[in-house]
Amino acid sequence: MEALIQDVNRDEVRDGFLVILDRKKVWNVELILAREFDRICKKHRLNYFLSGGTLLGAVKYGGFIPWDDAFRLMMPRPDFNRLREIIFGELPPWYFFQDAVSDAHYTSAMAKLRDSRTTAIEDPARKDANQGIFLAIYPLDGDSGVSEEERQLFEGQKELWQAVVDPEGLLARADGGVLSPEERLALARMPKRERLDQYESFAGQRFEIARYVSIPEEAEGKSVRLERSWFAEAVSLPFETTRFPAPAGYEAVLSRLYGDYRTYRRSVDNLHPLPRKKLYSADIPYEECLRKIDF
């Protein structure tokens, strides 16, 4: 496998933190995935940006935050919708684009691009799910600000997403909601792909009229409203041995996300050389780990 991380097979100390070679090999897989993703986006003229801790790492460290294992991207909603249409015809067979359609049990609004030759096990009980190392792709959705109209739009989009991933639950909800009982029933009777089309159409229209954009709550632990103008243009930032696009207003984005981001430090949850919430291997396919390891 090509090395996009310098000295990928050696431990090193970065910013006072021990980065073991196993973590660096995970990083390397993620960078190769990101480079393929970048190729596809350039080919189809899709916009995307580094996001969250990955953006923070690019600005502060010129690459990964030493104690972080994730690679996060964000895409304006119209580009994210378009990505779903074209990506399946672009990927080699060992890559898997995971979304609510390709994985029937996947309920997240973000997508993941996974390398099936590797392991990043999050749920050992999901024997049927692809659990290769991945990069996360979050949609940047429209956010019109604090108003009753915006609350209605937001709730309507949430209900449409529930129609995609849990139509029975939507029908069973006791609250009035934004959608009428007739609309809920009509959605529940649609094939899943058509329900997703309805959701994406609504989210795309909302994006076009919004002054703000927001990163999904699952990306940062809270919903974060950002000025749309910060994403009007992209700049290229160094990241390890390569480069990726960032929003031109990345300083404002990071300040909104992290406050004084230049003094950001790891928490006590990030003191271990490898994260404890996933089982990683850059060398062994997830299917083999699920078959051979007693969880």
- Domain ranges in the chain are 12-142+215-292, 145-209
User: With the C-alpha atoms ordered 111, 112, 113, 117, is the resulting torsion angle positive or negative?
Assistant: negative
pLDDT recorded at residue 230: 96
Give the DSSP letter of residue 251.
H
pLDDT recorded at residue 265: 67
Angle, helices 77-86/21-43, rounded to nearest 10 degrees: 90
pLDDT recorded at residue 263: 83
pLDDT recorded at residue 266: 61
* Phi, psi torsion values for 12, nearest 5 degrees: -155, 165
pLDDT recorded at residue 269: 47
| Residue pLDDT tens, the chain, 295 long | 799 999 999 999 998 899 999 999 999 999 999 999 999 999 999 999 999 999 999 999 999 999 999 999 999 999 999 999 999 999 999 999 999 999 988 999 999 999 999 999 999 999 999 999 999 999 999 987 777 777 788 888 889 999 999 999 999 887 778 899 999 999 999 999 999 999 999 999 989 888 899 876 654 556 788 999 999 999 999 999 999 999 999 999 999 988 888 886 665 444 455 455 689 999 999 999 999 998 8
CATH of domain 12-142+215-292: 3.30.460
DSSP assignment of 163-199, as one string? Answer: HHH-HHHHHH--S--SS-HHHHHHHHTS-HHHHHHHH
Angle, helices 181-188/148-165, rounded to nearest 10 degrees: 30
Give the global pTM.
0.92
> What is the CB neighbour count within 10 angstroms for residue 295?
9
